[in-house]
Amino acid sequence: MPKFINVERGLYRHAISHVYYERNTSGGRDAMLSLHTTKLAIARKELEKRKLARSRSKHGIEEPDVTSQPVTIGDVLQNYAEDGFPDRQVSMASQREAERASFRRVIWGMVAGVPRFA
């Protein structure tokens, strides 16, 4: 009898203890990492959470901060201005972009009732 039974893709159950495991490869070798549960629904959630964390780590994305406060559009524009209006390549924007951003701050300040920025 096999030691681990394949339940679904990447998810295995130990034949004797019935604890669920995640199959992971590290350095070309298989590794079975315990999900510390005998409940299939909990194992699926934990496996999905681990996959998401690995994907975020691989792409350099930080974990979301659930304790943070909501951010207004005015706050976003203020931070954008303070950072020097960087583009996708993180190079500083031209004077024209600075003027456009200033105009957007004024407009959004009028729409949202947010005070104008200096």
88, 49: one domain: no
Do 81 and 43 sit in the same domain of this protein?
Answer: no
Per-residue pLDDT, averaged over 49-75, amounts to 82
What rounded mean pLDDT belongs to the chain?
80
d(CA 35, CA 20): 6
pLDDT band at 42 (very low <50, low <70, confident <90, very high): very high
Q: Is residue 65 part of a domain?
A: no
Q: Is the pLDDT of residue 59 over 80?
A: yes
Spatial CA neighbour of 11 closest among 52, 45, 54, 44 = 44
* Together in a domain, 44 and 11: yes
Better-scored residue on pLDDT, 111 or 106? 106
Helix (H, G, I), strand (E, B) or coil at 24: strand
Residue 81: inside a domain, yes or no?
Answer: yes
Q: Quick one: pLDDT band at residue 4, thresholds 50, 70, 90?
A: very high
Assigned domain for 68 exists: no
| Same domain (yes/no): 45, 84 | no
Residue 107 phi, psi (nearest 5): -60, -50
How far apart are alpha carbons 20 and 47 in whole angstroms?
10
89 within 8 A of 81, measured Cβ to Cβ = no
Domain presence at residue 46: yes
Q: Would you call 16 exposed, middle or buried from its count of C-beta atoms within 10 A (0-12, 13-18, 19+)? A: exposed
Residue recorded with tokens 């590290």: 26
Taking 60 as the threshold, does the pLDDT of residue 117 lie above it? no
Closest among 73, 59, 82, 67 to 105, alpha carbons compared: 73
- Does a structural domain hold residue 33? yes
Domain that holds residue 23: 4-58
User: Total domain count for the chain?
Assistant: 2
CB 83 within 8 A of CB 92: no
